[in-house]
């Protein structure tokens, strides 16, 4: 029973039951978040307050039940740990805290606390639960993990340029504009806005030296801000390539067994496709290409007087 619930909660259950539970949770998360945002509008709150409140009650109860079930099934996720240790690990994990905050503010308000922006912010962390229901987030997590060192270098470089820009504009402008550039920490606001190319325009240099310096910083900022985006984009491309190669390797391995893909093999490949987040059309193309290569190799091997389908490839 516990294993079945764990599979259902973690997208490992078969068939329509898994799809139904996923759709249900996604709808609950979206509806509750929209209802929570609408309660901040006085006119909407006056007219639909009870309905929005009912949505929040139902959603919080759903999240509470899910949280308790995840605590109970945690030993299935960490089979090498004791039941107590597995549950503590889930409770202290990032997603465990997200699950807790998704309904904790509701319990606090039931206990007499008033709705505050802080509690509302905690409630909206439930949107992070969506990361469980989209393979795109898994792909992003893998990219960030693989490119962590490069991203760290780019962040460090941005920090160095930020300090340099703050000190430079402070040097040129602090005597003329003591309110805006009276200290280096004050000048950091201008540096951040300029380096990110946002350009609010609330503080601007007025001296000739300051304007020249600001021009150089703006040019540097354009390339600097695009650096992390480029790293992540290339990481996505590389991760997608690796996943397709992994899927292709699975197809080749299954075909090497008997030269054919049985219904069981196709079911395994479909599960692999979903796990790897590969488009169905792309997966079918990979399977077709591998099958064609396999057939060509078999024909060539047989024509050359080889030992047949199970001969050794060269």
pLDDT tens for each residue of 190-216? 999 888 888 788 888 999 999 999 999
Domain enclosing residue 83, as ranges: 2-132
CB 127 within 8 A of CB 29: yes
In a 13 Å sphere around the CA of 160, the CA atoms on its Cβ side amount to: 8
Give the integer Cα–Cα distance in Å for 136 and 198.
28
Statement to judge: residues 102 and 66 lie in one domain: yes
Same domain (yes/no): 145, 166: yes
* Final residue before a domain boundary, out of 132, 159, 186: 132
Asked if residue 174 and residue 139 are part of one domain, the reply reads yes
Same domain as 296, residue 213: yes
Q: Which of 132, 148, 177 is the last residue of a domain?
A: 132
Q: How many domains does the chain have?
A: 2
Which residue matches tokens 């889930």? 90
Give me the percent of the chain exceeding a pLDDT of 90. 33
Q: Are residues 97 and 207 in the same domain?
A: no
**For every one of its 314 residues, what pLDDT tens digit does the chain have, with 9 covering 90 and above?**
788 888 778 766 666 777 788 889 999 999 999 999 998 888 998 899 899 999 999 999 999 999 999 999 988 887 778 888 999 999 999 999 999 999 999 999 988 888 888 888 899 999 999 888 777 777 888 888 888 899 999 889 989 999 999 999 999 999 999 988 999 999 999 999 888 888 788 888 999 999 999 999 988 888 887 888 889 889 888 888 888 888 888 888 887 766 677 778 788 887 788 777 787 888 888 888 888 887 777 777 777 665 544 444 54
My answer on whether 110 and 77 are in the same domain is yes
The pTM of the full predicted model, rounded to 2 decimals, is 0.68
Write down which residue in 132, 149, 184 finishes a domain: 132
Whether 204 and 302 map to the same domain: the answer is yes
Q: Are residues 14 and 145 in the same domain?
A: no
Q: Which residue, among 173, 164, 165, has the nearest Cα to 209 in the 3D structure?
A: 173
Asked whether residue 19 falls in the same domain as residue 59, the answer is yes
154 and 269 belong to one structural domain:
yes
pLDDT of 136-192, one tens digit each?
A: 777 888 888 888 899 999 889 989 999 999 999 999 999 999 988 999 999 999 999
Question: Residue 314 maps to which CATH number?
Answer: 1.10.287.70
Whether residues 104 and 147 fall in one domain: no
CATH number at residue 97: 1.20.120
Alpha carbons 151 and 154: distance in angstroms, whole number: 5
Go through 36-63 and write b for each residue having 16 or more CB atoms within 10 A of its CB, e for each that does not: bebbeeeeeeeebeeebeebbeebbebb
Same domain assignment for residues 122 and 160? no
């Amino acid at each position: 029973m516990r294993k079945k619930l764990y599979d259902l909660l973690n997208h490992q259950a078969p068939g329509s039951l898994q799809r139904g539970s996923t759709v249900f949770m996604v709808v609950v998360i979206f509806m509750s978040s929209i209802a929570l945002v609408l309660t901040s509008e006085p006119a909407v709150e006056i007219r639909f307050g009870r309905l929005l409140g009912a949505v929040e009650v139902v959603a919080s109860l759903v999240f509470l039940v899910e949280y308790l079930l995840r605590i109970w099934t945690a030993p299935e996720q960490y089979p090498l740990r004791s039941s107590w240790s597995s549950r503590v690990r889930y409770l202290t994990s990032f997603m465990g805290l997200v699950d807790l905050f998704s309904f904790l503010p509701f319990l606090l308000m039931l206990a007499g606390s008033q709705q505050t922006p802080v509690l509302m912010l905690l409630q909206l962390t439930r949107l992070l639960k969506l990361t469980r229901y989209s393979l795109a987030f898994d792909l992003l997590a893998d990219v960030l993990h693989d490119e962590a060192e490069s991203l760290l270098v780019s962040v460090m470089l941005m920090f160095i340029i930020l300090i340099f820009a703050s000190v430079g504009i402070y040097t040129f402008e602090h005597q003329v504009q003591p309110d805006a550039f009276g200290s280096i920490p004050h000048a950091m606001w201008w540096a951040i806005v300029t380096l990110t190319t946002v350009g609010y325009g609330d503080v601007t240099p007025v001296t000739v030296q300051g304007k020249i310096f600001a021009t150089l910083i703006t040019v540097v900022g354009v390339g600097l801000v695009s650096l992390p985006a480029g790293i992540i984009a290339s990481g996505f491309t590389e991760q997608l390539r690796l996943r397709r190669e992994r899927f292709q390797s699975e197809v080749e391995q299954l075909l090497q067994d008997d030269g054919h893909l049985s219904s069981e093999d196709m079911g395994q490949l479909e599960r692999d496709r979903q796990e790897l987040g590969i488009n169905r059309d792309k997966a079918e193309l990979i399977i077709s290409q591998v099958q064609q290569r396999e057939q060509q190799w078999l024909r060539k091997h047989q024509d050359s007087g080889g030992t047949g389908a199970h001969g050794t490839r060269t």
